Amino acid sequence: MAAFFDTHAHLADPAFDADREDTVRRAREAGALGVVCIGESLAAAARARALAAALPGFAWHTAGVHPHDAADFDPARDIEGIRAEVAAGAVAVGECGLDYHYDHSPRASQRRAFAGQLALARELARPVVVHTREAEADTMAMVHEAGAAGIRGVMHCYTGSRDLAEVALAVGWFVSFSGIVTFRTWTDEALLRLVPDDRLLVESDAPYLAPVPNRGKRNEPAWVSFTVARLAAVRGVGEAALGERTAVNARNFFGLG
């Protein structure tokens, strides 16, 4: 059994209200060394903070505003709310970013909210967790600018192009892969080998995107083991070695000691 660290899970989501304790137990039994609980809104961040407090040394939380909600982004409220969450222990800003696939918020609003959170991450010296979908040009430009300004980040649940990944890697960012890499529709094995060993992360994105052989079910952190296995096979290393390497990377990226 390979140990691993789930760097992105919505474990405070109501989808886990009925069996959250069992979900955590299964994660530990599967080899999870820790999990970062994502606060994609201030309300979600508050729930994630409470969960992290109940699982010291195993769970941590983040705080941000998802691009889907960027139309309602209010700097006076949201930036100060994220700032307060960081003061209360949030280890990163986000998830934030750009999503031009669904366009739930106007693109200009998405860019404004993303820029505001990048600036806050720089001010607070916290990494940023970035969501991007079908927004390659704008994401590339904003990531390049952020990296040049010294902002650290991770491209979470990465499904973008090699070009965007190379821009992120060139400014020192990390790239995280989810259960999507186990799907039959994933064919870009070269991308899975592109990310250097010391910049590779893994995640569940639970309750979404359950990996094969559990595709279609509610996802959970325990199943990151399937993503680790897939990446290890493609990269030609042992599962234990890849799991350990990515766990070290997670602690380094989030500053967990």
Indicate if the pLDDT at residue 228 is higher than 90. yes
Cβ atoms 12, 50 nearer than 8 A: yes
Q: CA-CA distance, 46 to 44, in Å (whole number)?
A: 5
Q: CA-CA distance, 103 to 118, in Å (whole number)?
A: 20
The stretch 233-237 carries a mean pLDDT of 98
The pLDDT value given to residue 1: 80
The pLDDT value given to residue 246: 98
The pLDDT value given to residue 241: 98
Cβ atoms 50, 39 nearer than 8 A: no
Distances (CA, A) of 172 to 15, 124, 138, 175, 178: 34, 18, 18, 10, 20
Q: What is the mean pLDDT of the chain?
A: 98
Structural domain of 233: 4-254
Name the pTM for this structure.
Answer: 0.97
The stretch 151-162 carries a mean pLDDT of 98
The pLDDT value given to residue 115: 98
Q: What pLDDT, in 10s, does the model give residues 4-54?
A: 999 999 999 999 999 999 999 999 999 999 999 999 999 999 999 999 999
The pLDDT value given to residue 202: 98
Six token digits for residue 206: 């639970």
Which one, of 195, 190, 152, 160, lies nearest residue 175 by Cα?
195
Q: CA-CA distance, 172 to 161, in Å (whole number)?
A: 17
The stretch 193-222 carries a mean pLDDT of 98
Burial (Cβ within 10 Å: 0-12, 13-18, ≥19) of residue 1: exposed
Indicate if the pLDDT at residue 151 is higher than 90. yes
CATH for 125: 3.20.20.140
* Number of domains the chain is built from: 1
The pLDDT value given to residue 164: 98
Indicate if the pLDDT at residue 257 is higher than 80. no
Q: CA-CA distance, 222 to 113, in Å (whole number)?
A: 32
Question: How many C-beta atoms lie closer than 10 Å to residue 74's C-beta?
Answer: 12
At 138, which amino acid appears?
Answer: D
- Residue-wise over 11-28: b if at least 16 C-beta within 10 A, else e? bbbebbeeebeebbeebb
When pLDDT is cut at 50, 70 and 90, the band that residue 174 belongs to is: very high
Report H helices in 31-125: 42-54, 75-87, 107-124
Indicate if the pLDDT at residue 57 is higher than 80. yes
Q: CA-CA distance, 60 to 213, in Å (whole number)?
A: 28
Residue in the structure block whose two tokens are 């899970």 = 9
